[in-house]
Amino acid sequence: SQKIEQNSEALNIQEGKTATLTCNYTNYSPAYLQWYRQDPGRGPVFLLLIRENEKEKRKERLKVTFDTTLKQSLFHITASQPADSATYLCALDYNQAGTALIFGKGTTLSVSS
Amino acid sequence: GAVVSQHPSRVICKSGTSVKIECRSLDFQATTMFWYRQFPKQSLMLMATSNEGSKATYEQGVEKDKFLINHASLTLSTLTVTSAHPEDSSFYICSARDRVGGNTKAFFGQGTRLTVV
C-alpha cells in the first residue's frame, strides 16, 4: 500500500542550529515533492517545490533534496530561529490536472532560544 | 499571490444540525478545489475533490450524503456537513491549485474548526 512517513513527530533544536526533517514514501512515483509549513489552527502555507529531475532546491535558509531512488526528501532549515517553530508537512504531487496533494503526518519543530 | 479564503474560521453547532463552510479563490479561477479534514496531530486527509459544474469526487470512506459539496462557480466551493454529530468535530481545510504558468503549488484556506455539541 502507499505510504508517506515523516521521520519524527517532533524535533527540538536550539536556536542557530540546522534542523533536518525527513520524508520517505513507498509505492508512489510523484512528479514533484512539496514542503509546507502549518501553524496551529491554520491552513498549510507553501514553502518549496522540487521536481523529480532536481537533486536540490534552495530558498533563503531553506534547502530541500529529493532522491527518487531512495524515495526520500530531506528538508533543512539553517540558522534556525524560534519563529521557525511550526509543523512541516511534505506532500507528493502527481501534477495531473484535478489531482490533490497527498500529505505526510508532519513533523513539529520547536526551536528554543 | 493567489489567496484562498475560507469561512467561517470557527463554528459550534448542535448535534443534528447542518453547517455550511465556504471556500473562495480570490484572485484566480479554480476549476477544481479540494476538501481536507485534519484531526489533532494527524495528517490532512483528502475528503473530496470539488469540480466546477459537476459532481464532486469523494474519497473512499467519505459519505457523500453527509458531506455535500457544491462548486457552482469558478471561485466558490461549499462543503455542508449535514446532520452533524460530535464525531464530525474536526478541522476542515479547503485548497485550490493555481495552474497558470505551470505553477502547481497549492493554496489553502485558513481552515474551519467545527465543534459539534
Interface of A with B in 42-61 (CB under 8 A): 42-46, 49
How does pLDDT run along chain A (113 residues), one tens digit per residue?
A: 668 889 778 999 999 999 999 999 988 888 889 999 999 999 999 999 999 899 899 999 999 999 999 999 999 999 999 999 999 999 988 656 667 888 999 999 999 99
- Residue A112 sits at the chain B interface (C-beta within 8 Å): no
Using alpha carbons, list the distances in angstroms from residue B17 to B36, B81, B82, B90, B117: 21, 8, 7, 16, 10
pLDDT exceeds cutoff 50 at B70: yes
Alpha carbons B67 and A105: distance in angstroms, whole number? 23
Mutate to test the interface with A, among B104, B107, B108, B112 (most CBs of A within 10 A): B104
The cell for A85 is 517553530
**CB within 8 Å: B49 and A42:** no
Evaluate whether A4 touches A30 at the Cβ level (below 8 Å): no
pLDDT exceeds cutoff 80 at B56: yes
Q: Which region holds residue A52: left if phi is over 0, alpha if psi is between -120 and 50, else beta? A: alpha
Q: Quick one: pLDDT at residue A98?
A: 62
pLDDT in tens, B72-114: 888 999 999 999 999 999 999 999 987 654 557 889 999 999 9
Evaluate whether A15 touches A113 at the Cβ level (below 8 Å): yes
Q: Residue holding cell 497558470?
A: B100
Q: Which region holds residue A69: left if phi is over 0, alpha if psi is between -120 and 50, else beta? A: alpha
Mutate to test the interface with B, among A2, A32, A33, A99 (most CBs of B within 10 A): A99
With beta carbons under 8 A apart, name residues in chain A contacting B4. 43
Alpha carbons A91 and B117: distance in angstroms, whole number? 33
Alpha carbons B71 and B33: distance in angstroms, whole number? 8
With beta carbons under 8 A apart, name residues in chain B contacting A10. none
- Count of H-run helices and E-run strands, chain B: 0, 11
Q: How far is CA B88 from the centre of its chain?
A: 14
**CB within 8 Å: A103 and B105:** no
With beta carbons under 8 A apart, name residues in chain B contacting A25. none
- CB neighbours (10 Å) of residue B5? 15
Beta strands in chain A (DSSP E): 3-6, 10-14, 19-26, 32-38, 45-51, 56-59, 62-67, 72-77, 86-93, 102-103, 107-112
- Residue A94 sits at the chain B interface (C-beta within 8 Å): no
Q: Quick one: pLDDT at residue B38?
A: 95
- Residue A100 sits at the chain B interface (C-beta within 8 Å): yes
